[in-house]
Structure 1
């Protein structure tokens, strides 16, 4: 994947795509200007929903020409990291809350040749990642409680985004936000220091590639104007 830069990245979540046409949907959002393809993996245990596994990631990998950004909302995560790496993930993000040995898990992701990310649920303070910053390529702040698409943005997380931006300093770490991102909330995230935005229903609403393009452009424009 490309070298680090802090321009706004739009990462549509395929959780909101048409699951019967995932390959076509991935091609459509990429053709319409997305930067990353965000894959939400849920296990019905760590979060109250079940979505997809490594075989689906492998099946859509040939359709992804940008970056496959795989977010594991599963516990435990370690037994499945190799499978998701082999399936073609570029970034693998695990939750700080999902296992007892975060440092070891992040090191393992990197050893598999992937970028390593960590995600924080709304109730988890940024102090949970203070001692693993140098293992990280990405930090994902959840601005909803994970498990379902279409939830409302939690304003309480904006201050956390800002505090994490200060923690990152000049390290080459992307700061990503996931949950309730729209053209209205994207500026709040960008102004606080986010540079990667996950959006599901806000991108896929309308149902046509042209709609996706307009939606991606609207989010990017709003965030870029506000970027810190």
Structure 2
């Protein structure tokens, strides 16, 4: 799973950055372990991606940590599992890349970040289904729940392509429940679009069978392509788990 054998700190040499860029282009993610709590992981992410930070909730860094008021929700700040999604579908231009820096992993062994490439899923769709995902404009923006009106929302297709690279904008929670962070045990009435509900069910099945799970060590960094990789997180019970998240591009 590791894409670097170094456990000291990031190597900022031109050759090293080019190697990571090649790995990111090939695998759509990189995972690096270090032993340095003060290494400049944000500089590293910028060099590898060639992109600048995008603010989230008005800040460059979002602290992914347990907050009691989110306990019962399927949310980054809760402890329940997250369903597969690409990040920030309600942004007019969702981030190209996501980066996670692990300050403190969950001692319980849970809280694994999971990833799956969407290209394999697209191969399971018919040409008509892909065409519908490419042609139909959908509104993304929660009007209820803990993320109600966090943005003005955005209208875009679920699938597009940049040359041969797929750009996928999807949230199983949002498509299925109309809420980015629902309470799985107390779901509000919602009638999803039948076509998208079927796609969501099939995508979750594909994701379950094809995802990779990464338990991030302390002072490790995970970076992935948010346009063609979906992600989720397993449940955990340790409230001291802390990650820092950045958007790029």
Task: State the TM-score bracket (shorter-chain normalisation).
Answer: under 0.3
TM-score normalized by the length of structure 2: 0.25
Structure with the higher fraction of residues in strand conformation: 2
Q: TM-score, normalised by structure 1?
A: 0.27
Higher-RCO chain (CA-CA 8 Å, sequence separation at least 6):
2
